Amino acid sequence: MTTTSGPPTDRMAPVTARGSFDDLIAPTPARSRPSPRKGEGGAGRAIRIVLAVLIPLVIVVAAIAGGEIWARAAVGGEIRAALADGFHVEPDAVNVDLGGDLALIQLVNQSFAKVTADVRGADLGDASGDVHVTITGLPLDRSLPVGALGATVTIPQDSIAALVTDTTSLVPESVTIAPGVVTVAATLDLGIVGQFPVSVDLSPSAGPGSISLAPVALEINGTSVPAADIRSLPILGEFIAPMIASREYCIADRIPQGLTVDRLEATDGALVVDLSGTGVVVDETLGRAGVCG
């Protein structure tokens, strides 16, 4: 019996684990980091640039501000102390303004262009008032004179009753100040002759170191009499004239030594004394009161 053999059968390829092993030992590619979003790198650089510029700028500004505070305190303190001594007040009654320009720049220039100060409650003896001071050309070297110095003293109406008595012999019952004139209501005691209510108009004036209130007119018994005719009044004239005669009241010892009295003016509700000085040295003449001769 003949046996017929079929077509040769393909042998099955042996199964190996090579592929799987190679896969296991093959290096794994490194995972790439996600790329930054568009614009993130530029923003970071911009922030660093801004900080690099801003931080030094803040430091410089802080240094300038600190120097400015120091300069204003140092120079302002000297002026404050001098004015307090010259006008007989406590230092905390004086406010000093060195002007709008940077004090550091003015220190470099060795001079302050304009300095102003306000003194509250300056003592003028039997009166008091507020003072406004203006100094131009204030040198950093305190041994040098200022360019110019001016001051105004404002004496309110309710503060001049004693001043009227100092410049006349009137004892005011009331005082009214209007532009150019001070009107005083008083009672004149003429002894056995009697007492006479009067109204006296006074005109303010000033000398180099003094002020005065001179009579302009007298109203008595409903009659107005010019000052020049008061002594001519029958019987009463010889008594009244010396009682209202003007005399100077010295204020030189109540103001800084370097200042003179230029003018005394009556305004609405106040007397204003104008003072000025040339060649004023802060340490020598501004901080010392003058003297009455």
pLDDT in tens, 215-271: 999 999 888 999 999 888 888 888 888 888 888 999 999 999 889 999 999 999 999
pLDDT (mean) for 51-74: 59
DSSP single-letter state for residue 168? S
d(CA 261, CA 266): 15
* Residue 120 domain boundaries: 43-293
d(CA 162, CA 128): 10
> Does 178 map to a domain?
yes
**Coil, strand or helix at 207:** coil
- In 3D space, the residue among 148, 151, 259, 167 whose CA is nearest the CA of residue 211 turns out to be 167
CB 246, CB 115: distance < 8 Å? no
- In 3D space, the residue among 250, 249, 247, 221 whose CA is nearest the CA of residue 233 turns out to be 221
Q: What is the mean pLDDT of the chain?
A: 79
pLDDT (mean) for 154-161: 91
> Does 16 map to a domain?
no
d(CA 15, CA 2): 37
Residues 168-202 have pLDDT tens digits of 888 999 999 999 999 999 998 888 888 899 999 99
How many residues would you count in the chain?
A: 293
What's the confidence (pLDDT) of residue 167?
87
What's the confidence (pLDDT) of residue 176?
94
- In 3D space, the residue among 107, 99, 80 whose CA is nearest the CA of residue 287 turns out to be 80
> Does 132 map to a domain?
yes
Token pair in block for residue 166? 């100092």
What's the confidence (pLDDT) of residue 1?
43
> Does 85 map to a domain?
yes
> Does 122 map to a domain?
yes
Count up the domains in the chain and report the number: 1
d(CA 205, CA 70): 43
What's the confidence (pLDDT) of residue 131?
96
> Does 7 map to a domain?
no
Task: Residue 53: count other Cβ atoms within 10 Å of its Cβ.
Answer: 10
What's the confidence (pLDDT) of residue 243?
85
Sign of CA dihedral 11, 17, 20, 22: negative
> Does 114 map to a domain?
yes
> pTM of the entire structure?
0.72
> Does 125 map to a domain?
yes
pLDDT at 165 over 80: yes
**H or E element: which one contains 62?**
helix 40-86
Q: Which residue has the higher pLDDT, 46 or 236?
A: 236
